[in-house]
Structure 1
Amino acid sequence: MKQKVIAIVGPTAVGKTKLSIEVAKKFNGEIISGDSMQVYRGMDIGTAKIKIEEMQGIPHHMIDIKNPDENFSVADFKKYVQQYIKEISARNHIPIIVGGSGLYIQSVLSDYNFSEEKRDDALTKKLEAEMEAEGIEPLYNRLKQIDHVQAEKIHPNNFRRVIRALEIYEKTGLTMTEYQMHQQKEMPFDSMLIGLEMERSMLYERINHRIDLMVEEGLVEEVHKLISEGYSNCQSMKAIGYKELIPYFRGETTLEESIELLKRNSRRFAKRQFTWFKNKMEVNWYNLTPLTISEKFNEILIDLAGFLKS
């Protein structure tokens, strides 16, 4: 039996941290940061590092393990995280990887096996059109006939997963269950990826608000401290949240210009994150709105309970 691992992914500011705490409390989990920048000490506000009081007593790993002038690669991340997964599993706890650094997370879960079946846009659109015309029930019933094991794992309202399972079958001739068994021969863990998404204008509004809060909490002072400690030319300082403010301290831009640039870069980064996860990994997506967050979190907890029992 392969060790079960949960991963919570998606663009910045979408709500991954809040969900991760709920999942950890429900399933006796420990959280592993999947963010490539949260490993650095002193880079707290700009990386949206979780605060002690937000952890609610849940153990967190891969935070504050390097100085800003130390190198840290995908290979390093993979080595550290796979070791943490072993240690957490030995305590009979569930490892939960949380973050937005897609390649880093993929390196752990896929063991650099990038052979996942690519999406067939035409087939996806055909199935989506059927759903819009007839509703999800006929598609879900078709899935139950084709692959009852997968149907039991998928909530009938999770149309993305229903469509993906049917797409795999129509394209490869394999059921999703058969396909996953084939893939898992190459995978070091039995993993389930939970993806959070949000309507773009709503997400961008949350990103802008988060950056305003970061500035209020002392982001400018944090960057100034790192510069004064001699880290301005380090690779870590090229990250979003830091590189935009360095020109301000050189007198090349105003603070307002630097903050606007940071917001723009963060929005663009969120778009790239979302595109990357959509194209590169087999993610179960859940769309959030302010009114449905609680409902969606409950749905995710139900789906994860099914995964952990299987």
Structure 2
Amino acid sequence: MLKLAAIVGPTAIGKTEVSLIVAQKLKGEIISCDSMQIYKGMDIGTAKVGEEERKKVVHHMIDIVDPEVNYSVADYQKKVKELIRDINSRGRLPILVGGTGLYYQAVVDDYKFFPMPSKDEVRRRLEEMVNEKGLSWAYEYLKTVDPDYAALISSNDQKRIIRALEVYYLTGKPFSRFQTRDVSCYNLAAVGLYLERDELYRRIDQRVEEMIAKGLIEEVYALFKKGYDPSLNSMQALGYKQVWYYLSGFLTYEEMLREIKRETRHYAKRQYTWFKKDKRIMWINVKDYPSSAILAQKICAYIAGQLYKA
């Protein structure tokens, strides 16, 4: 079986830093498992690894499409499956790193994506209802009819929320029922990183402040100057939507900061909830290790023990 390692967990937990060390020690190549890092020009808000780090460790699935491209999870899965085969064929270890649960699951469990029915009239009506009642209403409704799929996606992901509700209205069945899984075709070693809630929230707040200081507002402004519509799926990424509201005068600076921090905390909670369902993941409390280097040693030992057993 093809080997595959994974380092997952919520945003701001420290996956990027430790994964760089692990990849160098295990002769690995990193495959980003982040639904927003695929977009070009969205660097600060998605916390992409820097150019210098990419020179040290090969990274895949970063900066592959422009923000207006509708890049689906099926597209991601297809490309990553090719990468995993290629990296293994060269005697190196593919390491899936990120926090997008749906993308992770689609790869490790080889989701089968079947064509879903679509009807313009139903979709238009759903879009009208979202405009009338708000996206939060639509997400709450999705949670009642398809809690499994709702747990996998962002409450801001209008495209996927409407699509799931459309399938439910047309078939009477939850969208998640149509995403079948196979037994993983990989020899998998998956590690999950976690922290106590208060410490994680402190890190999230700190990261948001750092992103603003690095130029997130300027980055968002540059994107919209290029003509990217705020309704694009890429523009629903954490931070980008709130900064757009600020630039448009709908939020004050302080309100923008609060909204980004609040939404990021909610997202981290959803990430935990989802990944905790996967019993194959070995969880590590980041707080138990005084440095990323020592944490990386623990992760390397676990992965090597799982994938390179005598």
Q: Secondary structure at the match of 1:41?
A: coil
Which of 1 and 2 has greater Rg?
Answer: 1
Give the counterpart letter for 1:64 in structure 2: D
Residue 236 of structure 2 is matched in structure 1 by: 238
Q: What secondary structure does 1:97 align onto?
A: strand
1:296 Cα offset (Å): 3.4
Equivalent residues in 2 for 1:99-248 (5 A)? 99-112=98-111, 186-231=183-228, 232-248=230-246
8 Å Cα contact 2:7-2:98 kept in structure 1: yes
The one-letter code matched in structure 2 to 1:215 is I
**For 1:192, what is the secondary structure of its paired residue?**
strand
Please give the alpha-carbon distance, in whole angstroms, between the structure 1 residues aligned to 2:182 and 2:253.
52
In the alignment, structure 1 residue 298 sits paired with structure 2 residue 271 = no
Unmatched runs of 5 consecutive residues or more in structure 1: 114-183
Paired with 1:277 and 1:37, the residues of 2 have a C-alpha distance of 18
Q: RMSD over aligned Cα, in angstroms?
A: 1.7
Hey, what's the Cα distance between the residues in 2 that align with 1:100 and 1:46? 14
**Is 1:55 matched up with 2:89?**
no
Partner SS for 1:257: helix
Counterparts of 2:92 and 2:8, CA distance in 1? 20
2:253 aligned with 1:258: no
The answer to whether the 8 A contact 1:29-1:95 is kept is: yes
TM-score (norm 1): 0.74
Q: Using the alignment, how far apart are the partners of 2:294 and 2:6 within structure 1?
A: 20
Where structure 2 has 5 or more consecutive residues not aligned to the other structure, the ranges are 113-180
Q: Give per-residue Cα distances to partners, 1:205-234, cap 9 Å, x unaligned.
A: 111111111011100000111111111221
Give the partner amino acid of 1:51: G
Q: Which amino acid aligns with 2:42?
A: M
Q: Which amino acid aligns with 2:286?
A: L
* AA at the equivalent of 2:20: I
Residues 107-158 of structure 1 show CA distances to partners (whole Å, capped at 9, x for unaligned) of 0111128xxxxxxxxxxxxxxxxxxxxxxxxxxxxxxxxxxxxxxxxxxxxx
Match of 1:45 in 2: 44
Letter in 2 for 1:88: I
Which residue is 1:21 aligned to?
Answer: 20
- Runs ≥4 in structure 1, deviation > 6 angstroms? none
Question: Is residue 2:6 matched to residue 1:7?
Answer: yes
Deviations 1:269-300 (A, max 9, x none): 11110111002452110001175344433222
Change (3 A) 1:89 1:263: same
CA separation in 2, counterparts of 1:77 and 1:277? 19
How many residues align structurally? 239
Counterpart secondary structure, 2:277: helix
Paired residue secondary structure (2:240): coil
> Closer, same or farther in 2 for the Cα pair 1:241/1:185, shift >3 Å?
closer
Partner deviation per Cα, 1:34-88 (whole Å, 9 max, x = no partner): 0010000000001011111233511000000010000011101100101111111
User: Which whole-Å CA distance do the structure 2 matches of 1:100 and 1:4 have between them?
Assistant: 20
Distance in 1 (alpha carbons) for counterparts of 2:204 and 2:100: 17
**Contact 1:14/1:198 (<8 A) preserved:** yes
2:31 pairs with 1:32:
yes
Aligned to 2:79: 80
